[in-house]
Amino acid sequence: MKVPMLDLHAQFGPLRGEIERAIGKVMDSQAFINGPEVGELECQAASYAACRFAVGVSSGTDALLAALMSLNIGPGDEVVTTPYTFFATAGSIWRVGARPVFVDIEPDTFNIDAGRIEGVLSDKTKAIMPVHLFGQTADMDAINEIAARRGLYVIEDAAQALGARHGDKPAGSLGTMGCFSFFPSKNLGALGDAGLVTTQDEALAARLRQCRNHGSEPKYFHKWVGGNFRLDTLQAAALLVKLARLEAWHDGRIANAAKYDERFGDVAEIVTPVVRPGRRGIYNQYVIRVPRRDELVQHLNERGIGCAIYYPLSLHQQECFAGLGHSRGDFPESERAALETVAIPVYPELTEDQIDHVAATVTAFVTGRV
């Protein structure tokens, strides 16, 4: 039995007609830039994330860039973040001229270890950028307490976490700004690249809107330099169709994760995901820690079972960040996670037979029964 890591065809099929009609409406209007669908998506997304404002942008990466630029973070500034995340987190900090300052992760949630943040702060620190990795919020109570005491911004990298909650508060409403990605593999995926920034601050929302349009306000007049970070109307139209189904898709992922938890419950060799009490994780990925990870990946690939490594190399070990002066062993939990973790299929359209097959194949390998 073949089981893909993600089956976008299974999700798109039932929605095809509705999405095609939504796109057709945009085609008829020819309002491809800042059409009414963009504003409607921003309104619905803001409500969903319990924020006053949402600003659509061209990608999750550009969401991070726009947030940093809108806060005037740049050369000479430092931003605290995690080394165990997708490249865009630290890459966006680097691109505005600031310095990413890494803090190691919690070994069970893989999120930034808030207890270590205080030790790296300096008079150059301007913001903390926690990542809600794999769809679970970081320790935002501790992070916000530090930020409030030290006068720092908090930029949530919530690229994988639209719909995750910290207590009764959604991801994206927990800091100064929340940055989301609608890359096609996300729980809410566009038909290409797309993103969004949320905030409670009206002035920041206005600055974000300027930032996504080259810093222009009014048209052709520029008080500062922004970028071309606009969200396409076509993408907004498709996302509006999908947003109405997002909670059901989350529920499906959570249910599938529970099934894996049950099937792996007695397998000592497999460490299943940990969701902290009071948090709602949405399982953008279902990530397990296993021995002989690379051999397991090969074993699964040979049997047509999709899997993925998030992430194979910590950011402090990336060649482009050599100038930061880090070396192997500086962030041991991040490095260990990069060597031992693998994501297996968890998308909501999985069948019971597929889940059984994936779980049985993984269990047989790690327990030496193959």
Reference 157, options 143, 185, 137; nearest CA is 137
User: What is the pTM (predicted TM-score) of this model?
Assistant: 0.97
What is d(CA 351, CA 1) in angstroms, rounded to the nearest whole number?
12
Burial 147-172 (b: 16+ CB within 10 A, else e): beeeebbbbbbbbbbbbbbbeeebbb
Q: pLDDT, tens digit, for every residue of 168-197?
A: 999 999 999 999 999 999 999 999 999 999
| CATH numbers and ranges of domains, the chain | 8-243 (3.40.640.10), 246-366 (3.90.1150.10)
Q: pLDDT, tens digit, for every residue of 305-359?
A: 999 999 999 999 999 999 999 999 999 999 999 999 999 999 999 999 999 999 9
Burial 306-334 (b: 16+ CB within 10 A, else e): bbbbbbebbbbbbeebeebebeeebbebb
